[in-house]
Amino acid sequence: MSKVLVVAFDGVDKELIEEFKLDNIPQKEFGTIDNSTDVTTIVTYELFASFITGGTWKDHGVIGLTRPENNVLNSLENLRSIDLFQRTNEVRKKLYNLVPLIDGEFRRYNKKDLDSETFFEKIASSKAIDVPSYNLGYSVELMPILEKYGLKEAEKELDRFTNWKRWELFDEMEKDHDLIMAHFHKPDHIHHWYWEVGKMDKVEETYHEMDEFAGEILEKAEENGFDTVIFMSDHGLPDVENGGHNENAFYSCNHELFGDETPHITDFNDKILDLTDRESAGDVVEEINI
Ligand SMILES: [Zn+2]
């Protein structure tokens, strides 16, 4: 039985890890995650729902970045797997707001929206820290700050969230958990905000900052008995010339995990359940029976 720690660095691109010659993020096994789905866009929320449940959007029901509050509109929005539907996202959002008596607002997904179980429910002693499509709470209000007060203020707020989560992660690592998964959105935000204005040096600086953080995490993991440490990203990000989220998602592990095979983003769920033996979930059931 292994104690498992998963740290997600949102949007960290496998090719850039190599280009910037990071030391700690690429561990003993280092490879690409196949993040293809049959949805045309590569979107954070859908990808994390797949990672934590082991199914695709057809199983877990998370498609796109946000969902309409209204259930009828939400069923209609499942058509977002179709390319044409994706391209009319903005128009539809405007139309929904014009329909009388229907709440046309969109909101971020959370665990109540998931149609399938995650490994957090199956592993009794588990902790999710700010995981998208589950309990993301601290990274969502940055865009209004960016639009109203500019890049510097948004970055300050982002650093505040990042530090807060860093301390929460280190605190939780000292408690008795079989699984912790924490999500850090900073590399994705910084990349989106800066590459568009041609400042790849800022992106590189952030990668090195995350790499140093990964080094600290590895030290604490050893101190606290986490024998499996997985670093991962949901997608890669482009250089200045090429736009959009891309397929360069990475994972690394401090021991052999998938060997030479390229895992699909849905393959980690079973692997993590196997590693933790699901023993903890079994123990709880027995205790209740007694
Ligand atoms: Zn992402």
Q: How far is the CA of 237 from the centre of ligand 1 (A)?
A: 9
Q: For the segment 219-228, what is each residue's pLDDT rounded down to a tens digit?
A: 999 999 999 9
Q: How far is the CA of 23 from the centre of ligand 1 (A)?
A: 22
Q: How far is the CA of 220 from the centre of ligand 1 (A)?
A: 25
Q: Which residues pair with 202 in a beta bridge?
A: none
What's the DSSP call for residue 181? E
Q: Which residues pair with 179 in a beta bridge?
A: 4, 126
Distance separating alpha carbons of residues 250 and 277, to the nearest angstrom: 25
Q: How far is the CA of 184 from the centre of ligand 1 (A)?
A: 10
What CATH code would you report for 4-58+117-289? 3.40.720.10
Q: How far is the CA of 60 from the centre of ligand 1 (A)?
A: 18
User: Which pLDDT value is given to residue 241?
Assistant: 57
Q: How far is the CA of 43 from the centre of ligand 1 (A)?
A: 6
H/E run at residue 5: strand 4-9
* Mean pLDDT, 10 residues at a time, the chain of 290 residues: 95 94 97 84 86 92 77 73 71 75 75 93 94 79 81 90 95 97 94 80 95 98 97 83 75 96 96 82 46
Distance separating alpha carbons of residues 290 and 129, to the nearest angstrom: 32
User: Which pLDDT value is given to residue 287?
Assistant: 45
Distance separating alpha carbons of residues 127 and 93, to the nearest angstrom: 34
What residue segments make up the domains of the chain, in order of their start? 4-58+117-289, 63-108
Q: How far is the CA of 133 from the centre of ligand 1 (A)?
A: 12
With a CB cutoff of 8 Å and minimum separation 6, the contacts of 189 are: 10, 139, 142, 154, 158
User: Which pLDDT value is given to residue 285?
Assistant: 45
User: Which pLDDT value is given to residue 282?
Assistant: 45
What's the DSSP call for residue 39? S
User: Which pLDDT value is given to residue 89?
Assistant: 74
Q: How far is the CA of 10 from the centre of ligand 1 (A)?
A: 5
